Amino acid sequence: MDFYPKVYLYRRIVKAKLFIDDNYADAIELDHIADEAFFSKFHFIRLFKKTYGKTPHQYLTCVRIEKSKLLLKEEIPVSGVCYAVGFDSVSSFTGLFKRMVGQTPSAYQQGCISKKLEIETAPLKHIPNCFAEMNGWTKKSNFQEV
Partner 1 sequence: MITRLNHVSIFVLNQDSAYDFYVNKLGFKVHTDAPMGPGARWLTVTPPEQPDLEIALMAISEGMMFTKESAGAMRNLVAGGTFGFGVFECNDLLATYEELKAKGVEFTKAPTQEFYGFEALFKDDSGNWFSLGQKGK
Q: Are 79 and 90 in contact (CB under 8 A)?
A: yes
> Which string of x and - marks every residue 87-126 that binds partner 1 (by CB under 8 A)?
--------------------------------xx--x--x
Identify the residue among 4, 42, 88, 102 touching partner 1 (CB under 8 A): 4
Separation between Cα atoms, residue 101 and residue 82, nearest integer Å: 15
142 near partner 1, rule: CB under 8 A: yes
Cβ-based burial of 64 (10 A; exposed 0-12, middle 13-18, buried ≥19): buried
Identify the residue among 27, 88, 102, 128 touching partner 1 (CB under 8 A): 128
Residue 131 CB, nearest distance to partner 1 (Å)?
7
Identify the residue among 51, 55, 94, 104 touching partner 1 (CB under 8 A): 51
How far, CA to CA in Å, does 45 sit from each of 28, 65, 109, 117, 121? Answer: 15, 20, 33, 43, 48
Residue 86 CB, nearest distance to partner 1 (Å)?
19
Residue 67 or residue 90: which is nearer to partner 1 going by CB? 67
Which residues lie closer than 8 Å to 107 by C-beta, 6 or more apart? Answer: none
Q: Within 72-91, which residues bind partner 1 (CB under 8 A)?
A: none
Torsion of CA 24, 30, 35, 39, to 10 degrees: 120
Binding residues (CB under 8 A) for partner 1: these are 1, 3-4, 7, 10-11, 13-15, 17-18, 51-53, 119-120, 123, 126-128, 131, 134-137, 140, 142-146
